[in-house]
Structure 1
Amino acid sequence: MTTTSSAGTGRPPAHGRRSRWPWVLLAVAAVLGLLAVLVGPRVYARLQEGRAAAPLSPPAAGASTPTAPATDPALEGTWAVTGGTAGYRVDEVLNGQDVTVTGRTEQVTGELTVTGGELTAGTVAVDLTAVATDSANRDGQFRRLLGVDEDPTATFTLTGPVPLGGLDVGAVLAVTLPGTLAVNGREVAVRALATVERAAEDAVTVTGAVPLTWSDVGVQAPDLGFVSVEDTGTVEFAVTATPA
Structure 2
Amino acid sequence: MSAALPVLSQEAPVLKVATTEYPPFEYVKDGVLQGDDVETVRTVLQAMGYEPKFQVLPWARAEMMVRRGNADLLFSLTSSPERERHYLFTAPISEARDVLYARKNAGLSWTSYNDLADLSVGVTAGYSYAPEFMAWLMQGESQVVTMNQENPDLAGLRMVAMGRVDVFICEQTACDYLIETNKGHYPELSRVAALPGVVGDERFFRAAFSRKRPDARALRNEFNQVLKGLGLAATD
TM-score over 0.5 for the alignment? no
Please report the TM-score for the alignment, with normalisation by the length of structure 1: 0.26
Tell which has more relative contact order, 1 or 2 (C-alpha 8 A, sep 6+): 2
More helix by share: 2
Please report the TM-score for the alignment, with normalisation by the length of structure 2: 0.26
